[in-house]
Amino acid sequence: MGQSAMIDVRPMPAVTELSEPYWSGTRRGELMLQHCVDCENPQFPPEVSCTHCGSASLNWQRASGRARLYSWTIAHPPLLPYFAARAPWPVVAVELEEGVRMVSQLVGLEVEDYEFDMPLVADFEKVDEEVTLVVFRPAESK
Ligand SMILES: [Zn+2]
């Protein structure tokens, strides 16, 4: 594959048996989180057991989609070709209302207007039949 072709190909997360409930959720427009049946803590990304208590009893529950901007960084090259062609590429860390953090993108807002702790809501960006990515946008439209 040549360099120019690679620029058009977005590197995709791998959908595994473990993460499949998350991806089928995003295809429905729902943000799903693993919860521990024993200690009730949510966790992200999905694991085979609870990262708090080690229990293997986990289920999936829909998250509210409400979050706050925890932190962000602006990615500059060197990057994978897809991202390098679109750099600078803002990458955000959000803290969901449920208390877990995710790395994502913030859409509908210029980087200059990012503010720590600003309220966000989850949105969904369909990439292909298998992958719909979770992105976040400001909770209040200005
Ligand atoms: Zn647990």
Between β-strands 101-104 and 119-126, what pairing exists: parallel, antiparallel or unpaired? unpaired
CA 46 – ligand 1 centroid, Å = 13
In this prediction, residue 142 has a pLDDT band, given cuts at 50, 70 and 90, of very low
CB count within 10 Å of CB 12 equals 12
pLDDT tens per residue across span 45-99:
999 999 999 999 999 999 999 999 999 999 888 898 998 888 888 999 999 999 9
pTM equals 0.88
What confidence score (pLDDT) does residue 88 get?
Answer: 87
In this prediction, residue 3 has a pLDDT band, given cuts at 50, 70 and 90, of low
**How far does Cα 85 stand from its chain's mean position?**
21
CA 44 – ligand 1 centroid, Å = 13
Token couple for 122: 């989850």
What does each C-alpha distance from 50 to 17, 20, 28, 75 come to in angstroms? 17, 17, 25, 31
CA 62 – ligand 1 centroid, Å = 17
What confidence score (pLDDT) does residue 92 get?
Answer: 97
What does each C-alpha distance from 109 to 82, 90, 93, 115 come to in angstroms? 21, 11, 15, 10
CA 91 – ligand 1 centroid, Å = 29
Closest alpha carbon to 104 in 114, 6, 49: 114
